[in-house]
């Protein structure tokens, strides 16, 4: 048996491990690695947050095939592509719920006077 650590997603005997275990191993390994870098704490926090988002998404898929994303380059590339698609489709749906709760609903369309009608006094202040 080798003294090297197995890649997340594979045991030392190359037996696949369940996705939740693989994700936790990846999370622990990344946290340990990022602590050794010379990055500022704010940068480390940002990187940890983004990796946590990816790992949470990976775990939420519940697909044990994604275990390979933590150990194999080709599978990783496919999973990252899927994750990117997930992020892009999420952004198209509109602002996050937390943003809407904090700032209220987005403003509706602005009303303009009908042609030939004098503008309302509130519209005049916008044209100064």
Domain boundaries, the chain: 1-97
Give the pLDDT score at 88: 81
This prediction has a pTM of 0.52
Q: CA dihedral in degrees (47, 51, 53, 58; nearest 10)?
A: 170
Give the pLDDT score at 60: 80
The per-residue pLDDT for range 31-85, each reduced to its tens digit, is 998 999 988 999 999 989 988 888 888 888 776 666 777 777 788 788 888 888 8
CB atoms within 10 A of CB 9: 24
Q: Which of 3, 22, 4, 2 lies closest to 75, judged by CA? A: 22
* Residue 4 clears pLDDT 50, i.e. is over it: no
Q: Which of 64, 63, 53 lies closest to 9, judged by CA? A: 64
């Amino acid at each position: 048996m080798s003294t090297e650590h197995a890649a997340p997603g594979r045991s030392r005997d190359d037996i696949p491990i369940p996705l939740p275990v693989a994700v936790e191993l990846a999370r622990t390994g990344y946290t340990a690695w990022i602590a050794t870098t010379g990055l500022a704490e704010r940068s480390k926090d940002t990187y940890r947050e983004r990796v946590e988002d990816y790992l949470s998404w990976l775990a939420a898929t519940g697909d044990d095939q994604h275990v390979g994303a933590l150990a194999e380059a080709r599978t990783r590339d496919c999973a990252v592509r899927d994750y990117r698609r997930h992020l892009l489709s999420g952004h198209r749906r509109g602002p996050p719920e937390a943003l809407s709760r904090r700032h209220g609903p987005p403003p509706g369309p602005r009303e303009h006077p009908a042609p030939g009608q004098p503008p309302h006094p509130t519209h005049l202040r916008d044209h100064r």
